[in-house]
Structure 1
Amino acid sequence: MSTPSSPSAPQDYPAARAALLDAPGPAGRPRRTALAGLTDDWLAGLLAAAGAPASGVALVAVGGYGRGELSPRSDLDVLLLHEGPITRELPERIWYPVWDAGAKLDHAVRTVAEARTVAAADLKAQLGLLDARHLAGDGALTAALRSAVLTDWRASAPARLPELRELGRERAERHGELSFLLEPDLKEARGGLRDLVALDAIAATWLADAPRDGLDAAAQRLADVRDALHLATGRATDRLGLQDQDQVAERLGVLDADTLLRQVYEAARTVAYASDVTWRAVDRILAARSGRGRRVGRLAIPFTGAGRGGGAVARGAVERRPLAEGVVEQDGEAVLAQGARPAADPVLPLRAAAAAAQNGLTVSYATVRRLAAECRPLPVPWPDEAREQLVTLLGAGEAAVPVWEALEAEGLVTRLLPDWERVRCRPQRNAVHRWTVDRHLVETAVRAAAMTRRVARPDLLLVAALLHDIGKGWPGDHSEAGEVIVRDLAARMGFPPEDVQTLAVLVRQHLTLVDTATRRDPDDPATVEAITKVIGTLPELELLHALTEADALATGPAAWSGWRASLVDGLVARVADRLAGAGSPVVEAAPTAEQERLAVEAARTGGPALALRAQALRTGGLRASSQGDDPGADPGADPGAEPMGVELNLAVPDRPGLLGTVAGVLALHRLTVRSASLRELDPVGAGPVLLLAWRVAAEFGELPEAARLRADLRRALDGSLDVARRLAERDAAAPRRKGIPTPPPLVAVAPAVASATATVLEVRAHDAPGLLHRIGRALDGAGVRVRTAHVSTLGAEAVDSFYLTDPAGRPLAAQRAGEVAAAVRAALG
C-alpha cells in the first residue's frame, strides 16, 4: 500500500486520512499501522507548529493509539508530557486543530509525577500508560515515563491484578461472552479486544504470560472485523449488529454473515481460553507469594505407578493427589502423573477430563497440550472405558464446561467426534437460542446431568443430549441428518446395537414431545397413538421426556415455561399409560461353567469359593485368569502392561450382610464397581448359595495383589476383619475435598408389577467409594434378604436394583418396604 505523504498543514490530515482508508490494497494490520503513522506525523507537526520547546515537553500516544494500530474511528489517546511550567496556550494549539479536523481526542497534560499519581489511583489510566509510545518532542521524557510506569506496575502487581480481574468479570457480566452473542461487542464482551489488553498487562508484570499459539491471529481477526464495522457504518461502534453483518462480511471478502460470525467466535474463544489459562497461573503465583500456596514437604499421598515413564509435572515439593490412573491434582488443576504414558494410553484424555470435572477442576494447559501432541486416536469401536469416561465427564454438569473448552481448544473434541467440526462455533440465527450449536449441545448435557435420577439409563440420556443437534451441520432436517450421524457415532463409541437404536430414536424424535404437546389435542387418542408409533417402551419415553426438558432449558428462557412443561408432562403421562407393561423384562443370563463349579464347591464345603479373572477392561479382552484359589495368577502382575480390571465370582452359603461385606472389601482395596449381580442358586439341593459376579477396576494405580484380596475377603466373611471400621478410619484420615454438586440420591420402591415374588428397591445415586457397602449395610440392618441384585455404574452414576424379601422369603409389605427405602436413603445421606 502506498502511504500518502505527510500533510504539511493541519487541514491536510482529513483528506490524507480519507485517501488512506479508501485506497485499494491490503487492509488489516498494514492499514492500521499506516493510519497510526500518518497520525503520528500530523501530531508531531502540530507540536512543532505550537512552538513547543526543544526539551522538557513530549507528545505521547497511550492506550490503543499507543499500541501503534489505529482503527478508522478510534479515539486519539494523547498525553502532553512536560517537566517544569508550560504556557496554557501550548496544549490549546495542539488540541484545537485536532478537534477542528473532526478527530475524537482523549487528552491530558501532566508531568511524569502527576501521571504516576493518576495511574496509582486509576487502574484504567495505568493500563493506558503501559502502552505509552513517543510521538514527538523530548524522547528522554517519554522514556522516563515508560520506565517509571512499568516499575510501578510490576511493584503493584499483587494488588492490581485482582482488581484487573474484577474489571474483566464486570465487563463479562454486562456484555456477555463474545463467542455466543448474535450481536457481540467486539471490544467489551468476554473474549474481546479488552481481554487482549489485559493479557498484555499481565505479561508486563513478568509474573505470567498467555499461551501465544493462535492468539495473535485471533487479535488480528477481531481488529479487522472492527475496522470493517467502522467503515461499513461510518460510526465508532464496537457492536456487530445483525443489520451490519452482511456489509462487514462483504468488506472482508467473507462468504456470508454466518461465516463471519464463526470466525469471530473462533477468535473470541482463543482469547477467552488464553485468559482462563493465564488467570489460573496468576492465581497460583499470587497464592504462593502470599503464603497460601499448596507446597508441602513431600507428596501428600503416595500412589503406585508414578515412577515409570516421563512425568508431565515438575519434580519438587508440590502436593499431588491421585485422581485416576495417570492423573493427579496439582495446584488446583488436573495434570498427568509422572508415570503417565500418553502415547500408550489413548483413553487418557477422556480419563483426565472426567477426573478433573468430577473433582471440580480443569485440566492444566500443559497437560492438554501434551495429550493432544502424544495420544493416539481411539480405536474403533472405542474401548469400554472411553465410553464410560465420556459419560462421567458429561455427568459432572457445570463442572464439565471448562474442561470441555480446554479439550476443544487443543482439537481433542473433534478428534474424538469428527462431526463436531461442523457444529463448532456455528451461530443460530434465532432469538430463542442463547448459544452457538456446539455450546448448546454442551449446555443440554449440563442440564441433563441434573436429571439422571429420572432415567434408568443416564449414559444414554447424556450422550443423546450431547449429540441431539449434531445434524445442524448438514443440509436438510437436522433431526433426520442427526439420526444418520448418531447411528455411526454411537457404533464408533462401542454402544451395542440396541443402544445405538435408542440413541438414534432420541435424536430423531427430540422435538416430537414438545411439538405434539403444543400443536395437537392431548385428549385425542390419535395424539397418543402418534407418539407410541415412534416411542415403543417406557424407558425410551422417560429418556425422551428428560431430553426434551434439558434441550428446552439449554435453549433459553423463552423456550421453556410452566405452561409448556405441563403440556409435555400431561402428554407423557398419557403415553406412559398406553405403554404400561410394554417394557421387556430383564433376562437373567445362565450361570457360566465357572460359576456353577463355585456354587457346587461352596454348597459342599459350607465355605466361600471364589475366582478372580484379570481383565483388560480398557480393551475388553481377557489377559489372564485365576481359577479358584490359585495364588500364582495375580491380576496386579505385569507392571508394564496396560492397567487391568478384575472379574470376581464369589459363591457363599446364604448368610446375612454378604453384599455389603464384599463391597466393603473391594472399597478398602480402592476398587470401583462397574457392574455386579447377586442371585441364589441351589446346585446340589443342600440349601441356597449366593453367587456374586463383579466387574471392578482400580480407582487409580495398579490392582491389589490377588492373594491379599482373597485373604481380606476370607477375613471379612469369617468376621476377623472389621470392614466398616477400617473404611471409617481411612475416610477420617483422608483429606476432605468439596466435590461437585450432584442430584440427591433416589431410593424408591418399584411398583408391585416389577416382581411377583420380591419387592424391588431401586437406587440411583452419584457413584462414590463405598457406596454399595453402605447400601448393603443398610439392607442388612433393616433385616431383609437380598435375593437378587443388579448393580450398574454408568459413567459416574450408580443404577441399582435390589430384589428383597422378608426372612421367610416373601415380598415386603408396603409399609415395611417404605421403611427399608428410608433406611437406605438415610445411609446415603
Structure 2
Amino acid sequence: MTSTDVRDEAEDSGPSGYAAARLRLLTEGARSGPPRRAALSGLTDDWLAGLFTAAAPGLRGASLIAVGGYGRGELSPRSDLDLVLLHDGSDPGAVAALADRLWYPVWDLGLALDHSVRTPAEARRTAGEDLKVQLGLLDARHLAGDLGLTAALRTTVLADWRNQAPRRLPELQELCAERAERQGELQYLLEPDLKEARGGLRDATALRAVAASWLADAPREGLDDARRRLLDVRDALHLATGRATDRLALQEQDQVAAELGLLDADTLLRQVYEAARVISYASDVTWREVGRVLRSRSVRPRLRAMLGGGKPVAERSPLAEGVVEQEGEAVLARAARPERDPVLPLRAAAAAAQAGLPLSLHAVRRLAATVRPLPTPWPAEAREQLVTLLGSGRPTVEVWEALEAEGLVSRLLPDWERVRCRPQRNAVHVWTVDRHLIETAVRASEFTRRVSRPDLLLVAALLHDIGKGWPGDHSVAGEIIAQDVAARIGFDRADSAVLAALVRHHLLLVETATRRDLDDPATVRLVARAVGTQSTLELLHALTEADALATGPAAWSSWRGSLVADLVRRVSAVLAGDVPEDAPATAAATVTAEQERLALESVATGGPVLALRAQTEPPAGDTAEAPEGPEPLGVELLIAVPDQPGVLPAVAGVLAVHRLTVRTAELRALELPDGVEGSVLLLDWRVAAEYGSLPQAARLRADLVRALDGSLDVAARLAERDAAYPRRRGVVAPPPRVTVHPAASRHATVIEVRAQDAPGLLFRIGRALEDAGVRVRSAHVSTLGANAVDAFYVTGPKGDPLPGEEAVAVARKLEETLRG
C-alpha cells in the first residue's frame, strides 16, 4: 500500500480510519527511517486538517500549527503531537469549541498531546519568557486554517529570535550544559537517553536554532546523517517497547538492533556513539564560534573608536612552526604548507594542547584535506610531537577529538579504527575503549615525574587496550599491535619490546595484588619474571594506576593502591636480588597491634572476636587520591576466629543474612607469638549495608557463634529472605567461570571465581569448597561494579596443594553449583 492509499483510507473513515492507517503504516516492514516519519507526519497532517475543517467550516482568524518535532516532520511511532491553535481573539467562544473538537479525538485515540491556544501576541510574549517555547515555534508549520496568521507569527518569532540572539544564545548554551550535567554524554553511556544526553536530539535541535539566528552555524558535514541515525534508533525503540521512551535500556538493545537490521547490540551502540560524537563536536565548535562572535561584537566598536575607524586585524601569536594562536584557537600560520609538512598535524595538535587551546575547525579540515602520510618509520619529530600531545593533560582530550572528527587519528594509527566508539559492557568502565585510552594518557601525564622514560609511559597508556578491537585476550592481541605500532612510529627494538611488555602485562600488578597471596614467594617471583627489569616495573606501576583512575571511581582506591605498592616493593626486592629465591613459604605477613590483640583474645575465649569501625578513604598523596576526593567504603570488619572448618561460609552467610554487601575481603591464617598455642584465622572485610543502618557488632558475633556451632541455619535464612524479596534483574548476566591456576603458588592450589555479584554468593562459594573437603588457607575477594572476582588458596586435609585432576574436579563442581 502506498502512502497515498494510506491517507485515502484515513480520510474515508475518520478517526478510526486514521488509527487503522497509522497502524498499517507503522507495521509495514519496507517503510522505515525518514520515509516513514514523513508519511506519518503527512497522514497526521491530513487527519488534523480534516478535523479542523469539519469543526469550523466558516471560522476566520484561526489556524492550527505543528511545532517542535512534529513541526519538523519528525514524528516517531510514539511521539507527542505538539500543536498550537492560533487565533486573532475576535471570537473566543468559537475558538474554545474548536479546541474541544480538535483535542478530544486525539485523546480518544490514546495519542500524547502537548497543546496550547494563543493569540499571536500571547504566543510572542510566551516565547519571550520561555526559551523552550521559542525554540518550538522556530519549527512552526501550518496545518490548517488562516495561512496568513501562521506566516505572520513565523516571521515575527524568527525576527525576535535573531534580534535577541546575543542575549538568548548564552541562555540556550547554559540550558544545554545543565542538561548534559544531568544526563551525561550520549557517546559513552551504556543506557543513553537519545534525546536529552549531550550529543543527542535536543543538541541537534539547538544547533538548528543557532543557525536560524544567523550569528553562527554548525559544521554541516555529517550532521544531518547523525540526526537521522538517532531518529531511526528512536523509531525502532518505540516499536520495540510500545512506549514513548528515549532511554535505550540494555534489555531492549538487542531487539532494537534487530528492528534496524543490525548485527548485534554492540553494533547499535557504536552507531549511536558515532552519531553523538558528530553532534557533540559540532556543538563544541558552534558554541565556541558563538562566544567568539559575541566577544567581537562587544570589543570591535571600542577598537574602531580607538583606531579611528576601519576593521581591526585579529592578533596572531606564534605557537610552533606553522601554528599560531588567533582569537582563542590554534590555527595554521599563513605560511604553513600542510602538503609539504607531514608532521604538521601532530605539531599543531601538540602546540594547541600545550597552550590549552582548541584546534580550529578550519585548520583541522585543511590538514585532513591536504597533508601527506607520514613515512614509516616516523621521523623523530613526529614521535616527539605525539608524546608531547599525550603528555599535555586534560587539554589533550579536546584536541584529540578534533583530530578524530576529521579522520586524522585513524590515518596516524590505523589500528585505532577498531576501538573507536567501541562500548565496554562493564559497570566499572565509564568510557568507550578509545576515550578510555585517552583518559589513561591524561592520567599518566600526572605520573611522568615518577618514571625515567615518560615517553614510553604515555605511549603505553595510549595503546594498553588497543587489543580490545580483536577477538580473544585483548592483552595478548594488544602486545602484537603495540610492537607493530612502536616500530612504525620510530621506537627502536628495545623500546618496542618494553612497550609490548607493558601492554601485555598492564593488568598484572592490580590483578595479582588484589587476587593473590603476596606472602607466597611464588606470587612475587612470577611477577618478577614477567616484568624482567626495574625500569619496566616502574613504568608498569605508573601505568597500572593511570589505567585504574581512568576506568572509573570503582576501579581504584587507597586500599588497592597500597596493595599494588606493596607488590611493587616486593618485586623490586626480588629484581634487585635482595630476597633469595628460596624464601620460606611461611613468611609472616605484617600484623597490626589490633589484629594481634583480636587473635590473642580469640585464643583466650575460644570463639570469634569482632571489631567493626567506620572506614573512608583518606587522601593518599600521589598514589591513590582521585579528584573526586575521599572514597566511602562503608565499614571495616576485622574478625579473629580459632582455626576450624566452615569459617568462610559461616562469616559470609552471617553478613548476607544481615544484608551486608562485601566490597573486599581477605582471609588468612595468622601466626601467633611464641608461647601461644593454637591457630587463628584473620578475616579483614570491607562491607556496606544494602540499605538502612549497619548492625551492631554484638549481633554479628552472636549470629556468627551460632553459625559456627550449627544452631543457625544460614542457608534457610537466606532462602527465606530471597523468597520474601526476590531480586529483579533486567540484564541476563554471563555465566560464572571457575579456573585453576596451578603455577600461582607452590604451597596451595589457587582457584579463581568470576561471577555476577549477588547476596550470599560468597557463602555459596565457601560452603561448596567446604563440601569438597578442601581447606581455604587464604582468600582474596573483590567486587568491581556488578562483578565478583575472588581467589581462594586451598589445600587438602594434610595442608598440601591439590593434585591436578582433583583441583580441576573441585573447580568444575564449584562452577556447576554457582550455575545452579
TM-score bracket, shorter-length normalisation: 0.5 to 0.7
1:481 aligned to which of 477, 480, 505: 477
Q: Please tell me whether the aligned partners of residues 328 and 336 of structure 1 are also in contact (alpha carbons under 8 angstroms).
A: yes
Q: Distance in 2 between matches of 1:343 and 1:55?
A: 65
What is the TM-score when the length of structure 1 is the normalising length?
0.67
Cα distance between partner residues in 2 of 1:368 and 1:296: 31
Partner amino acid for 2:23? Answer: A
Partner residue, 1:200: 208
Answer yes or no: is 1:21 the counterpart of 2:29: no
Counterpart of 1:65, as a letter, is: Y
Aligned residue in 1 for 2:510: 514
Deviations 1:458-514 (A, max 9, x none): 111000000000001111111011000010100000011111111011000000001
Mapped contact 1:284–1:293 kept (Cα < 8 A): no
Contact 2:464–2:502 (8 Å) recurs in 1: yes
Corresponding residue of 1:46: 51
Give the drift of 1:293: 9.7
Residue 61 of structure 2 is matched in structure 1 by: 56
Correspondence for 1:172: 180
Please tell me the residue identity of whatever aligns with 2:297: R
- Do the aligned partners of 1:126 and 1:149 also contact (CA within 8 Å) in 2? yes
Partner of 2:452: 456
Shift of 1:579: 2.2
Q: Any residues of structure 2 matched to 1:276-315 within 5 Å, and which? A: 276-291=284-299
CA distance in 1, matches of 2:382, 2:101: 71
1:199-218 to 2 correspondences below 5 Å: 199-218=207-226
For residue 387 of structure 2, give the secondary structure of its aligned residue in structure 1: helix
In the alignment, what sits opposite 2:362?
366
SS in 1 for 2:284: helix
Q: Which of 85, 91, 111 is the equivalent residue of 1:85?
A: 91
Q: In structure 2, what is the equivalent of residue 744 of structure 1?
A: none
2:428/2:551 contact within 8 Å kept: yes
1:67: which partner in 2?
Answer: 72
Q: Distance in 1 between matches of 2:198 and 2:125?
A: 30
Indicate yes or no: 2:191 matched with 1:183: yes
CA distance in 1, matches of 2:245, 2:111: 15
Distance in 1 of aligned mates of 2:565 and 2:327: 46
Q: Using a 3 Å threshold, how does the CA distance of structure 1 residues 387 and 295 change in structure 2: closer, same or farther?
A: farther
Name 1:229's counterpart in structure 2: 237
Partner Cα separation in structure 2 for residue 26 and residue 101 of structure 1: 23
After TM superposition, the structure 1 = structure 2 runs for residues 235-384 of structure 1, keeping only pairs within 5 Å, are 235-291=243-299, 317-384=313-380
Is residue 2:524 matched to residue 1:528? yes
Number of the residue aligned with 2:81: 76
Q: Contact 1:353–1:363 (CA<8 Å) still a contact in 2?
A: yes
Distance in 2, matches of 1:541 and 1:297, equals: 63
* 1:142 maps onto 2:138 in alignment: no
Is the counterpart of residue 538 in structure 1 residue 534 in structure 2?
yes
Quick check: 1:106 aligned with 2:114?
Answer: yes
Secondary structure in 2 matching 1:237: coil
Aligned partners of 2:302 and 2:510: how far apart in 1? 50
Compute the displacement of 1:33 (Å).
0.4
**TM-fit CA distance, 1:12:** 2.0
C-alpha contact 1:295 1:318 (8 A) present in aligned 2: no
**Structure 1, residues 317-337: CA drift from partner, whole Å, max 9, x if none?**
111110000000001000000
Q: What is the TM-score of this pair, normalised by structure 2?
A: 0.68
Q: Residues 297 and 436 from structure 1, CA distance in 2 versus in 1: closer, same or farther, beyond 3 angstroms?
A: farther
Matched, 1:122 2:130: yes
Question: Per-residue deviation at 1:292?
Answer: 7.5
Secondary structure at 1:136's aligned position in 2? strand
Contact 1:13 1:101 in 2 (8 A): no
* Secondary structure in 2 matching 1:268: helix
State whether residues 401 and 442 of structure 1, in contact with CA within 8 Å, keep that contact through their aligned partners in structure 2: yes
The answer on whether the counterparts of 2:338 and 2:367 sit within 8 Å (CA) in structure 1 is: yes
1:31 aligns with 2:27: no
Q: Deviations over 1:105-158 (max 9, x none)?
A: 000000111000000000000000000000000000000000000000000000
Aligned to 1:427: 423
Is 1:403 the counterpart of 2:399 in the alignment?
yes
Distance 1:259 1:293 in 2: 52
- Which residue is equivalent to 2:11? 7
In the alignment, the residues of structure 1 paired with residue 293 and residue 512 of structure 2 have an alpha-carbon distance, to the nearest angstrom, of: 56
In the alignment, what sits opposite 1:759? none
Moved over 4 A (4+): 292-299
How large is the RMSD of aligned CA atoms in angstroms? 1.7
Q: Name the CA distance, whole Å, in 2 between partners of 1:261 and 1:557.
A: 23
1:552 and 2:548 equivalent? yes
Q: Distance in 2 between matches of 1:345 and 1:23?
A: 54
Distance of 1:130 and 1:181 partners within structure 2:
30
2:461 counterpart letter in structure 1 = A
Distance change >3 Å, CA 443–CA 534, structure 1 → 2 = same
8 Å CA contact 1:472, 1:482 repeated in 2: yes
Distance 1:355 1:52 in 2: 68
Shift of 1:578: 2.1
Aligned length: 567
Of the three residues 165, 172, 180, the one matched with 1:157 is 165
1:54–1:138: 8 Å Cα contact kept in structure 2?
A: no
Contact 1:363 1:403 in 2 (8 A): yes
> Is this contact kept in 1: 2:304–2:312, CA < 8 A?
no
- Alpha-carbon distance in structure 2 between the residues aligned to 1:458 and 1:62: 56
Question: Structure 1 residues 560 and 453 mapped into 2: Cα distance closer, same or farther (>3 Å)?
Answer: same
For 1:89 and 1:296, locate their aligned partners in 2 and report how far apart those are by CA, in whole Å. 59
Q: Any idea what SS the aligned residue of 2:15 has?
A: coil
| Partner amino acid, structure 2, of 1:107 | H
User: Contact 1:296 / 1:317 at 8 angstroms: preserved in 2?
Assistant: no
CA distance 1:356–1:292, change in 2 (3 Å): farther
Amino acid at match of 1:34: A
What SS does the aligned partner of 2:235 have? helix
Q: Secondary structure at the match of 1:494?
A: coil
Find the aligned partners of 1:67 and 1:295 in 2 and give their Cα distance: 42
Report deviation, 1:298.
13
Q: Secondary structure at the residue paired with 2:192?
A: coil
Do 2:300 and 2:312's aligned partners in 1 also have CA atoms closer than 8 Å? no
Separation in 1 of the partners of 2:558 and 2:63?
65
Q: Which moved more, 1:3-12 or 1:64-73?
A: 3-12
Q: Which amino acid aligns with 1:167?
A: L
2:558 is aligned to 562
Question: Please, which runs of 5 or more residues in structure 1 have no aligned partner?
Answer: 300-314, 583-829
User: Matched residues in 1 for 2:429 and 2:87: separation?
Assistant: 54
Q: In 2 relative to 1, CA 104–470 (structure 1 residues): closer, same or farther, beyond 3 Å? A: same
Q: In the alignment, residue 235 of structure 1 is paired with which amino acid?
A: R
The structural deviation recorded for 1:413 is 0.2
**1:807 match:** none
Partner of 1:795: none
Letter in 1 for 2:398: P
| Cα separation, partners in 2 of 1:337 and 1:516, compared to 1, 3 Å | same
| Alignment-mate amino acid for residue 481 of structure 2 | I
Q: Is the 8 A contact 1:468 1:506 kept in 2?
A: yes
Q: Is the helix fraction higher in 1 or 2?
A: 2
SS in structure 2 opposite 1:211?
A: coil
Cα distance, 1:297 vs. partner?
11
